[in-house]
Amino acid sequence: MRLADKRILLGVSGGIAAYKSAELVRRLKDQGAEVRVVMTRSAKEFITPLTLQAVSGHPVADSLLDPAAEAGMGHIELAKWADLVLIAPASANLMARMAAGMADELLTTLCLATPATVALAPAMNQQMYRNAATQANLQTLAERDIQLWGPDSGSQACGDVGPGRMLDPLELVERCCQQLAAEPLLAGVRLLLTAGPTREALDPVRYISNHSSGKMGYAIARAAREAGAEVTLVSGPVALTTPAGVTRIDVESALQMHEAVMSRVGECDLFIGCAAVADYRPAQVAEQKIKKTGDNDQMQLTLVKNPDIIADVGALSDKPFTVGFAAETVDVEQYALDKLRRKRLDMIAANDVSRAGQGFNADDNALTVFWQGGQAALPLADKLTLARHLVALIARHYRP
């Protein structure tokens, strides 16, 4: 049962190899996987939804505009549900639409909306496979981290001989096992992570801070530890329990967090700056509580800039792989990309904290992750689920 508790979304596109999809579902279930099937319109010309429903044990999804499913945003739920999306067979037409970024039916939409790994098992006539357009599409998909499993070579249903046969179902099951049951994604990687807010003291009892709860950072710490990383968490003041196996260092101010990070960053392989660090602090901290006076309705504070932790890490000549966060309220993409460039980051995760129900203090969040030449949307989910998808995405791009 090498795929026990794993969730595989099987996409079936139009082609004669679709007859093998029922066998593939059965073999995946033999290994303990839960399988749900999505079919394209043309796939139903080769095999019926009823057949795949019978072998999977779940209704087959085939319509992007199904009123019953979309009442609960069914296509997004399916996209978040999967640990792996496998499209077998993947026709030349489907791959062309994916390369163009189209979302013209349910399966192509799911491929854009899922944070999970997407794998394709190409199946087509040998001449279609060799065509320059198909080869260009395959290269485009590979550059976007789409897994290409196959094709095999041999005799084809049309009588031709050559490359274009879909891999055997047992071979595809083995590929799924390797993909989902491999060594932990960050095994042995030393991660330094910041989380939570900072507090900038005004006097012994008052401070300037922000609404960060630390939930996202702590979820990342847990997800990274699950992925095999050695995690050191530099935390601002939060009311959260330290994830099991994580080393926690408590700080209060931005200056303290900066010192804690810079004294340890040389020992880490990967740095994630998730903390909501105060940009400014009071120029002077009163030794005694500041008293309110009856004849003074205003108070003036002079603020000075705090050190920029993520920028200082990014400026190091031997910097670790560095991931920043951008919590914005407007022009999220513009500000995130500017921060990625200016601070020499390898990746940045941006979220719109102005949206109700996500971001600061919420249990759910959504992120758009940018890197040089690419981006990925991680749709709204609970923060631990989101953190696991983010860690998997980072692991795919991490370079020691």
Distance CA 383, CA 78 (A): 18
Count of alpha carbons within 13 angstroms of residue 4, beta-carbon side: 2
Give the type of residue at 154: G
Task: List 352's β-bridge partners, or say none.
Answer: 328
Distance CA 277, CA 135 (A): 47
Which residue is it, tokens 């890197």? 371
Give the other-Cβ count within 10 Å of 61's Cβ: 21
Which residue is it, tokens 């019926």? 48
30, 179 contact by CB (below 8 A) = no
- The strand pair at 190-195 and 230-235 is best described as parallel
Give the type of residue at 349: A
Question: 342: helix, coil or strand?
Answer: helix
Catalytic residues: 158
Give the type of residue at 360: F
Cis link prior to 89 (omega < 30° from 0)?
A: yes
Q: DSSP character for 276?
A: B
Q: Which are the contacts of 317, defined by CB distance < 8 A and separation ≥ 6?
A: none
Both tokens assigned to 294? 């009856």
Distance CA 42, CA 20 (A): 15
Distance CA 81, CA 91 (A): 24
Both tokens assigned to 232? 């050191």
Distance CA 198, CA 212 (A): 9
Distance CA 171, CA 182 (A): 16
Integer angstrom CA distances of residue 350 from 89, 103, 254, 271, 335: 35, 23, 21, 16, 9
Q: At what angle do helices 92-99 and 132-143 cross, to 10 degrees?
A: 50
- Closest to 272 (Cα-Cα) out of 308, 310, 307, 306: 310
